[in-house]
Amino acid sequence: MTVQEKKNTILIIDDEEGIRKMLNIFLDAVDFKVVESDCGKQGIRMAASVRPNLILLDLGLPDMDGKEVIQNLREWTQVPIIVLTVRSSEEELVAALNMGADDYITKPFGADALLARINANLRKSVVREAGEPELSNGPIRMDLVRHEVHIGGEKVAFTPKEYDLLRYFLINCGRMLTRRQILKEVWGPAHVEDTQYLRVYIGQVRDKLEVIPDLKKIIVSEAGIGYRMDVIEAAAQSESKVA
């Protein structure tokens, strides 16, 4: 499997190199993309730039307490945070959870137990954001937990950024979205002027929708405004199947 086909991105913030290495090997083997940091301040910066789908956070960091990291992150993101801790103090864990951590697992932990926690929190996250673990529009179906796109029943490979762009269109299906809106939400505030970049990716997503002839036409462009994904009515979908 290539890096482009990896599913969710997980950020590990832990100062123990052995733990990071072990997690990296394990998570890569089950198709997660992994990024890592050995301290809190760098971890916060990476969370902002990488936009991971989930964070594994050690509470005992060299530069700041893990609870401060949680507090900082919760000021601007609801990304799932699983605390990795050797601390057995119930007060510490309760404080971390009260500050916004979603779950915890105590070191040493088994790979299967950690994977179960990761998958459960990813599932809750996509349901919280999109209202359900799947998004669809006519023959397009997106599995938000498995990071898979099916068009007309056929699985189609999307790069991570193409996937994020299609996902944003599906969440906002039927709405006219300005170029700045799309660039800010999919690429981040630093890219709101990269309209040429957006046109290239819109073209790539449209090409992949052509698994079904003319399906690319559902992404409509309005000169000077932006783009809209048209809602495919059930009747129209049935007609296309008959044809």
How many C-beta neighbours within 10 Å does residue 114 have?
17
- C-alpha distances in angstroms, 21 versus 82, 167, 197? 18, 31, 35
Digit-coded pLDDT (tens) for 55-104: 999 998 999 999 999 999 998 888 999 999 876 667 788 788 888 898 88
Q: Which CATH number fits domain 3-130: 3.40.50.880, 3.20.20.140, 3.40.50.1000, 3.40.50.2300?
A: 3.40.50.2300
Asked if the model's pLDDT at residue 6 lies above 60, the reply is no
Q: Which CATH number fits domain 134-242: 3.90.1150.10, 1.10.10.10, 1.10.645.10, 3.10.180.10?
A: 1.10.10.10
Whether 147 and 8 have beta carbons less than 8 Å apart is answered as: yes
- Helices 195-209, 179-186: axis angle to 10 degrees equals 80
Q: How far apart are CA 104 and CA 181, in angstroms?
A: 35
Amino acid at 123: R
Which tokens sit at 140?
């397009």
Digit-coded pLDDT (tens) for 226-242: 898 998 875 444 444 43
- DSSP readout, 182-221? HHHHHT-GGGTT-HHHHHHHHHHHHHHHTTSTTGGGGEEE
Whether 109 and 135 have beta carbons less than 8 Å apart is answered as: no
Digit-coded pLDDT (tens) for 132-179: 678 899 999 998 878 899 999 999 999 988 999 999 999 888 888 888
Consecutive H or E run containing 82: strand 81-85
Q: Domain residues of the chain, as ranges?
A: 3-130, 134-242
DSSP 65: B
Q: How far apart are CA 209 and CA 218, in angstroms?
A: 9
- What spatial distance separates the first Cα and last Cα of the chain, rounded to whole Å? 36
pTM of the complete model: 0.59
How many C-beta neighbours within 10 Å does residue 66 have?
25
Q: How far apart are CA 124 and CA 127, in angstroms?
A: 5
